Amino acid sequence: MPGTVQSIERAAAILRMLAGGPGRLGLAEIARSLDLAKGTVHGILRTLQHVGFVEQDRGSGHYQLGAALLHLGTSYLDINELRSRSINWADPLAARSGEAVRIGTVLEGRVLVVHHVFRPDDTFQTLDIGTLLPLHATALGKVLLAYRAERPAADLDRYTHRTVVAAKELAAELERVREAGWGADVEEYTVGEAAVAAPIRGYGGLVVGAIGVSGLVERICDSRYRPQPKLVGYVRDAARAVSRDLGAARR
Amino acid sequence: MTERYVVAIDQGTTSTRCIVFDRRGQLVSLAQQEHKQFYPKPGWVEHDAAEIWRNVERLAPQALRRAGITLDQVAAVGIANQRETTVLWDRRTGAPIGRALVWQDTRTDSLVNRLLTRPGADVVQQRAALPLSTYFAGPRLRWMLDHTPGLQERAERGEVLFGTMETWLIWNLTGGLHVTDVTNASRTNLLDVHTLDWSPESLRFFGIPRAMLPEVRPSVAVFGTAAAAFPGVRIGAALGDQQAALFGQTCFIPGEAKCTYGTGSFLLLNTGTELVRSDNGLLSTVAYQVGGAPAHFALEGSIAITGSLVQWFRDQLELIASAPEIETLARTVADNGGCYIVPAFSGLYAPHWRSEARGVIVGLTSYITKGHLARAVLEATAWQTREVVDAMNADSGLTLRTLKVDGGMTADNLLMQSVADVLDVPVVRPLAAETVSLGAAYAAGLAVGYWPDLEDLRRNWHRAGQWLPAMDPARRETEYGNWRRAVERTFDWIQPA
């Protein structure tokens, strides 16, 4: 039988204490009640604070339950925070790839575009931050879908003759994304266009968004309709860089 | 042939950074180190110049290592620096005399008030095309000479040297070259902007010995060859940080402007080779000088409180947990609900210059939520930009057609849209976010022929994002009227004692 993880048990005990108490509790108080060394409790509290489950009062230094615990079901990372933290990596991706960059996250079963960098050729382009895209027909969407527990809707819209609409086929495609660590769409949403995307991970490896490039299929893909390996490398490097900034462990 | 690069030293208020750029102006590597802030008394801010130089020495090899390049691949080094910060050092030992007085330091307040009543003050302001103010380096130098025993005599004997931060760095890089550039020199109250050399009248007025001043050089020119930090590499440029950002945004044509949105914000408009004197409370400053060509000038409008209003909302009101969340909160409502915030926390700067004003929140009703307050916070930055742009258009006779933006707040999409809406011009963000260091790199690369000309640099500029005005003109006028009425309500709050 696999053993239990002691520090998680202790973290749970601390959360129960904070939930049961009348208000904020001090470090010494928690350590005394649980009969643990202050250093141990402090380490656990700091980790819980880092993930938003615990908040520390700036004046007294006392701890209370964090707002993130009340919203466990929703995304923990504010979308504007996600844009702000990834902007410095999205720009170089556009420069290196020569293509438009988008960052997306899931909102009510769709991809919400939270950041958009123009293709750096100074042609007229329009910012489409706030636009919603289908999950199953875009590279960003497939990457986001691949790391979620929920299954895609049963009747999927067809955008082109290449759109993957069969549940079995989509499941295989998502499995391929998980294995490769990146996803693509080749004329699956718009005829003549292709895209590559990779996951952005937060703490603990949680996927909080996806970053990708998109453009004309002849620029994104080789002659055999496969995304160019160099481009895939750029996208994955950018995704890793943002993830590192967000506190994901190196992998 | 091995690829060559240009390195920028960005010596800022809180940190120093060395950044390696390639031929396309793309960032290759970055090394950064913060330095200590000293606050010995309220209103006093100091840096240790020796610590800052040590940081440059440490960062130089780090930046090259991270880029995977060697010294012989560096075509030139350029410097962009915090402006108006004043350093004194011993000519013989090279050791700083006291700490550097930082641009935020206001200790020269009463000194400046005294100087303003003295005969000749008008001539000094005429020569420099700047108001005599605590903001600039000259009064700081006078203060240091007054408050260090024996220093005036030592300075007269030529034993003590003065410099702003770029002068200090070039002295150390080259092992003893004492030079400044026109943009930094134009922020001292000591330069004659017509001759681009130190004004003898101003030096007499301040009682500053000529022997302690550096030689004034163009911003884009080979200053010398580094002996330390980047041994053997030519130093191709020095510019004040805001001028460097203007250069990095490639605003080379009269009428082109950039605004850097940070804690405070700085809007600079290129006015060409003619100096424009402001009737509307803006500063005239040297924008850059390329080699022997005539200098370009700029009008500058500084807004004291922009990003720091968001920080106040986060840290003092605790209505958001992080700065980017201001946008999330603001988007919970459709408009400001009739509420306006004027952040005159320490008076109003350009174009009002009302030191007795204090901040207000007006239009409060029971309908107002924290979402409306968040909107009002973002709109305050947009309207303050509008006031500066209006003043610039009036002074220069030029009409702003596009505003190029950079800085941390450009990540706020709602804010950038608001700026476009209230200015009624497109707002564009370049693909290169690090415009200050890019400007220093561009200038240095230009000096050594790494880039052939300004046109080549302009081709490196690419649009990464653009916000187009979408506000109904009638609504814009109503809102601007409301904002102006809100501003009036900040006046005369602090009463004379």
**pLDDT for residue B129:** 86
Residue A248 has pLDDT above 70, yes or no: no
Q: What is the 3-state secondary structure (H, E, C) of A88-118?
A: HHHHHHHHHHCCEEEEEEEECCEEEEEEEEC
What's the complex ipTM? 0.81
Chain B residue closest in CA terms to A128? B465
**pLDDT for residue B495:** 82
Q: For chain A, positions 79-98, list CB contacts with chain B under 8 A.
A: 79-81, 83-85, 87-88, 91-92, 94-96
CB contact under 8 A, A118 and B412: no
Q: At A87, phi and psi to the nearest 5?
A: -60, -35
C-beta separation of B309 from B396 below 8 A = no
**Summary mean pLDDT of chain A:** 88
Domains of chain B are 5-241 (3.30.420.40), 250-430+462-497 (3.30.420.40)
- Pairwise CA distance, residues B217 & B309, whole Å: 38
pLDDT in tens, B109-159: 889 889 989 998 888 888 888 888 888 899 999 999 999 999 999 999 999
Angle (CA) B386-B387-B392 rounded to 5° is: 95
- Pairwise CA distance, residues B178 & B170, whole Å: 7
Q: Give the distance from residue B327's alpha carbon to the nearest chain A alpha carbon, in angstroms.
A: 7
Q: At B434, phi and psi to the nearest 5?
A: -85, 70
**pLDDT for residue A76:** 65
**pLDDT for residue A11:** 86
C-beta separation of A79 from A112 below 8 A = yes
- Pairwise CA distance, residues A145 & A176, whole Å: 12
CB-nearest partner of B465 from A79, A121, A127:
A127
Exposed e or buried b per residue across A8-19, where buried means at least 16 C-beta atoms within 10 angstroms of its C-beta: eebbebbbeebe
Looking at residues A152-171, what average pLDDT do you find?
Answer: 88
DSSP tag of A221:
B
Chain B residue closest in CA terms to A52? B321
**pLDDT for residue A244:** 85
C-beta separation of A113 from A103 below 8 A = yes
**pLDDT for residue A73:** 57
pLDDT in tens, A63-98: 988 877 776 655 667 888 899 888 888 998 999 999
C-beta separation of B66 from B24 below 8 A = no
pLDDT tens series, chain B, 497 aa: 579 999 999 999 888 999 999 998 888 888 888 898 888 888 888 999 999 999 999 999 999 998 899 999 999 999 999 999 999 999 999 999 999 999 888 888 889 889 989 998 888 888 888 888 888 899 999 999 999 999 999 999 999 999 999 999 999 999 999 999 999 999 999 999 999 999 999 999 999 999 999 999 999 999 999 999 999 999 999 999 999 999 999 999 999 999 999 888 999 999 999 899 888 889 999 999 999 899 999 999 988 889 989 999 998 899 998 899 999 999 999 999 999 999 998 888 888 888 788 999 999 999 999 999 999 999 999 999 999 999 999 888 888 999 999 988 999 999 999 999 999 999 999 998 789 999 999 999 999 999 999 999 998 889 999 999 999 999 999 999 999 999 999 999 988 77
Q: Which two tokens stand for residue B402?
A: 């596009």
**pLDDT for residue B483:** 97
pLDDT in tens, A101-146: 999 999 888 999 999 999 999 899 999 999 999 999 999 999 999 9
Binding residues of B for ADP: 13, 17, 263, 307, 408
CB-nearest partner of B413 from A85, A117, A129:
A129
C-beta separation of B122 from B116 below 8 A = no
C-beta separation of B433 from B406 below 8 A = yes
Look up the CATH superfamily of A79-245.
GAF domain (3.30.450.40)
Residue A218 has pLDDT above 80, yes or no: yes
Query: Taking every pair of C-alpha atoms in chain B, what is the biggest distance, in angstroms?
Result: 71
CA-based radius of gyration for chain B: 22
- Domain at A6-71: CATH architecture: Orthogonal Bundle (1.10)
Residue written as token pair 């819980």: A48
Residue of B463, B466, B468 for testing the chain A interface, max A β-carbons within 10 Å: B463
- Pairwise CA distance, residues B34 & B55, whole Å: 8
Q: What is the DSSP secondary-structure string of B85-121?
A: -BEEEETTT--BSSPEEPTT--TTHHHHHHHHHSTTH
Q: List where CATH 1.10.10.10 sits in chain A.
A: 6-71
Query: Which residue type sits at A176?
Result: R
Total-model pTM = 0.85
Q: List where CATH 3.30.450.40 sits in chain A.
A: 79-245
C-beta separation of B216 from B198 below 8 A = yes
Binding residues of B for ATP: 13-15, 263, 307, 311, 408
**pLDDT for residue A251:** 43
* A245 near B CB under 8 A: no
CB contact under 8 A, B466 and A127: yes
* A31 near B CB under 8 A: no
Alpha-carbon torsion (B221, B222, B223, B228), positive or negative? positive
* B319 near A CB under 8 A: no
CB-nearest partner of A91 from B24, B327, B464:
B464
